[in-house]
Amino acid sequence: MSEIFSIRGGTALKGEVRIGGAKNSVLKLMAASILVPAPVKIYNVPDLTDVEIMIEVIRQLGVKVDYDKQERSVSIDATEVTEVTAKYELVSKMRASFIVLGALVSRCREAVVALPGGCAIGERRVDFHIRGLEALGAKIKIENGYVHAKVPKLTGGDVYLDIPSVGATENIMLAAVLADGSTHIQNAAQEPEIVDLANFLNSVGADVTGAGTSEITINGVSPDKLHSIEYTTIPDRIEAGTFMSMIVGTRGKAIIRDIYPAHLTFYTNKLIRMGANIKLIEPTSLEVSCRNRLNSINFVTQPYPGFPTDLQSMAMALLVVSNGVGIITESLYENRFMQVPELRRMGADIHQDRNHAIIKGVKKLSGTTLLASDLRAGASLVVAGLMADGNSIVKNIYHIDRGYENFENKIRLLGGKIERLQEETPVEEIRNESYI
């Protein structure tokens, strides 16, 4: 039976919220553990659908996995990898699982990984991944929906990425760890999650330098150099940005804890320009507040350290009730304005022209029934529902559960009126007390 969020808007969020581990990092750390012929333990692991899928992917490879939700840890023992096939049934559920390709080729010198296909926000091709592995000597063929990669021994090489693809950078990094010689990735992705992966790899005995810049060097090591470690995942900057948007959008005041503020510099500066008040109160805590109506500005999504595409929909939710006209340009994905029709149903004034959205601020949104099309669009509808007059229902919240841990509980701790319900529950039967 499907679930929904029932939201009553109009309440300013106040209090404190703690941010969990970065989904986009921990999934890659789990894949990287395949390289290590010894036990590895990862902490600050969020309780997410995507984490459970990745666990099943690596278990299918014969790797032992113990997921302790109470401790928020995953213990992985890849002493033995008995299978080199990642099947479509699992890879199709979560695109990030394609990252096991590089690790398997590096560790086992062979991999058969299902093509992940497209997704709701647009096509994300894997040709950069494949060309990178080929540059290291892998022989690759694609047939029956699977990438077949095989190599007697990977050899370091020079890889230039036409665009700074996060996934391709990660796959090439993992493949290069056990390769002979050095690998140089030029125009590499610079996201904090790339740095976290490099730090993890170096902690287990790999030799990676340059992560966080456009050029990464991986000096190959022998398998016996890799060893057991315990490692803590970085905080989730996109979850933090989502809560910043909620607090500012409801004209609230709250403290966001357990974050790396430097990972949020671009969004923080944008919100301050719009009229929000944000100040650092501790090395890992920000106080976020807003008393007045925000002012519209323009956003252009770019690879890190530019404005993140994963926060584009949150920015749009704020712009629809801001003073003036703002323009959002989505430069990374062709279908990442999936939230636009739903925001329009709430009264937003948005004109979309291909990858541009021109937003004229309205004074108020009105609650209604909304459909989440993907993870970030769904989260932005929750932000909009908290800002709106009246009640909103958000359906298809399984998308949101992929990337936000205890979402409604954290919102309720800030005073937000939100409840998770079975979809068949008639709206008229949702009593006021259910929000308390």
- Beta-bridged to residue 350, according to DSSP, are 359
58 near 31, Cβ under 8 Å? yes
Is the dihedral angle over the CA atoms 280, 281, 284, 289 positive or is it negative?
negative
Helix-helix angle 312-319:265-274, to 10 degrees: 10
> How many residues does the structure list for the chain?
436
Q: Among candidates 409, 408, 416, which has minimal Cα distance to 388?
A: 416
Helix-helix angle 312-319:237-249, to 10 degrees: 10
Q: Classify strands 215-219 and 182-186 as parallel, antiparallel or unpaired.
A: antiparallel
- Beta-bridged to residue 113, according to DSSP, are 86, 147
Burial of 341 (0-12, 13-18, 19+ CB in 10 A): middle
Active site residue 108: no
Residues 6+ apart with CB under 8 A from 170: 28, 99, 102, 189, 194, 197
Catalytic residue among 38, 65, 119, 221: 119
Question: How many angstroms separate the CA atoms of 183 and 313, rounded?
Answer: 36
Residue 269: how many CA atoms within 13 Å on its side-chain side?
Answer: 10
Question: How many angstroms separate the CA atoms of 204 and 201, rounded?
Answer: 5
Residues 6+ apart with CB under 8 A from 118: 124
374 near 121, Cβ under 8 Å? yes
Per-residue b or e along 55-72, where b marks 16 or more CB atoms closer than 10 Å to that residue's CB: bebbebbebebeeeeeeb
Query: Radius of gyration over alpha carbons of the chain, in Å?
Result: 22
What residues are labeled active site? 119
